[in-house]
A and B are shown apart, each in its own frame.
Chain A
């Protein structure tokens, strides 16, 4: 009916506008793309001015001597690699990032499953409670951790004393301090994994689990053959993304230990800060930061691949 009435009108009316439109359409397209470019201009300027330019400038800086007067090529990098402190930094950064991310992913996965088990109306309040660490600014909550690790009258040592154990110098001994920094990072980062995995769990169709139960799958088989394959992409993206953030972490180590004891807890960011800003050797600090780049770029590439893959899957 609608066809019957609209078609003749369309035939009569559409001929002249079509001719007109072919001309104006091109103009519109040209105008549209230039308007589109103008709308993106602030973004482009921001990224060029404060991301791309500084990145190349960092490369240039890292090849100067301390007074920034002579060009030393790769001298700073060679100097750093030979230094024992810097070797510790590389080791600790990798240890910190890998251990913390694995712990966060595991705990996040477990908590997401527990949350998924309980009825939906209770989930909100529990989720709210579990997200608190992630809501408080990290620099401020790290201060509380510092106070809890305090050697003389600390919260943890008091509990140990109640059970008859001796005081532990939490941040005073290298390996214990390393464990402490990792613990704080896990405390801060687990909620992020939890909400990501919870969202992923909810997106797995219930029918798959039903089909698996009919085929006689147990809880473990459902986990390995339904849940994990369905969540694989999100797990990969979250882990890689967190790897970048954790690897580049600054706040926790800076506040808790400032790199000590004996430089054993320094990570790239805190070491770059100490060398570049505090000691004023800007070129050397820039080179320390740049050491992060290959690892970050590697992780970023895989995140990007995962995201585009995911977009294609959804589009298909």
Chain B
């Protein structure tokens, strides 16, 4: 009987043992994963705090100059020249530098010139590049591929490569020391990249969309204005910000081609006007820098995401 019973019993016992073993291993495994998850969790937490700490160090390094600009701009000339105490803090904050600049006719001229030149540059660059990108992305003609490549190569030409022959050319046009020459020259810096971004955005629009419009009898201009520009609005915004950045911050061209204060823009006007020989009016210079940085900071604060998306798409997607 035992022999009869033996088999099932043994199998039952072995089954139980196996089950026990299995249960034990499951339990162990569970315990191990629990501990593992805990230590992993703790590790992650540490990594997270470490990341925050390291980022904070970098933020301090990157924000140190803007912070110092703000601090100096709030100081009076007397406080700066007394050279006592920490230069990193303001002891007697005052807005006199800002008030001086706002009521200073030369500074008003620079600001106005910068705004006018930037607005015109952005408008000219966007018109040129949207038209060209529409044509290169959708219509195409003999040599349009070569032109796309050429546009990209032009984007890689820095302003400091050609500013001397351009000096001669601006001279022939009779535009040396005329702020209007910048409206001709800045687009050469802005248009290639704007076109490049717009080609990318326009190419991503499904062909069915404009085919449907063509069948419905739309003209190319209608397709561009009613379909492409609204759909590619993020790209338009990114390209506009790029053109704005180029025009607002350029330094070499205005420094080389403009020399009287009624023709200057902010970047060169601040340097040539507020630094007279060895006299540096640092409080006013810093306040001027702050006022001049305000438009880009405001624009980026609201539209940064579009710009970053356009920029990274331009390089990561080609």
Contact = CB atoms under 8 A, between A and B. Distances in A.
A289 B300 CA distance: 33
A264 B286 CA distance: 27
A54 interface: yes
B289 interface: yes
A117 B51 contact: yes
A299 B155 CA distance: 13
Given A158-B88, A269-B252, A136 B152 contact: no
B270 A282 contact: no
Interface residues of B, number: 94
A308 B48 contact: no
Contact of B292 (A126, A140, A247): A140
Contact of B166 (A34, A47, A50, A155): A50
B293 A46 contact: no
Contact of A58 (B59, B165, B311): B165
Interface string B150-185: 111110111111111111110000000000000011
B163 A46 contact: no
Interface in A252-302: 254-255, 268-269, 272-273, 276-277, 282, 285-286, 289-290, 292-293, 296, 299-300
B243 interface: no
A200 B185 CA distance: 33
Chain A interface size, under 10 / 10 to 19 / 20 to 34 / 35 or more: 35 or more
| Of B47, B69, B285, most A-chain CB atoms within 10 Å | B69
Contacts of B131: 39-40, 42-43
Given A144-B66, A153-B87, A245 B158 contact: yes
B315 interface: yes
A43 B195 contact: yes
B312 A199 contact: yes
Interface in B96-154: 127-129, 131-132, 134-136, 139-142, 144, 147, 149-154
A23 to B, nearest CB: 17
B51 A118 contact: yes
A133 B58 CA distance: 12
Specify the main secondary structure of chain B where it touches its partner: helix
B147 A44 contact: yes
B2 interface: no
A63 B127 CA distance: 37
A166 interface: no
Contacts of A110: 54
Contacts, number: 286
Contacts of B251: 137-139, 250-251, 254
B119 to A, nearest CB: 16
Interface in B67-86: 68-69, 72, 80, 83, 86
Contact of B154 (A47, A128, A285, A286): A47
A37 B141 contact: yes
Q: Give the 9 A-B residue pairs with the shortest CB-CB distance, closest first.
A: A137-B249, A248-B158, A269-B160, A36-B139, A199-B312, A39-B135, A311-B318, A33-B141, A43-B132
Interface of A: 32-37, 39-40, 42-44, 46-47, 50-51, 53-55, 57-58, 61, 107, 110-111, 114-115, 117-118, 126-133, 135-141, 143-145, 147-148, 150, 152-155, 158, 187, 190-191, 195-196, 199-200, 203, 234, 237-238, 241, 244-245, 247-251, 254-255, 268-269, 272-273, 276-277, 282, 285-286, 289-290, 292-293, 296, 299-300, 303-304, 307-308, 310-311, 314
Given A141-B65, A272-B164, A289-B164, 18 more contacts: A35-B220, A36-B136, A40-B136, A42-B128, A46-B191, A47-B154, A131-B300, A136-B297, A143-B285, A144-B66, A155-B88, A190-B62, A200-B316, A276-B164, A289-B162, A290-B161, A292-B161, A314-B317
14 contacts: A32-B141, A51-B188, A54-B166, A58-B165, A127-B308, A136-B296, A138-B249, A139-B251, A140-B270, A143-B270, A147-B280, A148-B64, A203-B316, A241-B315
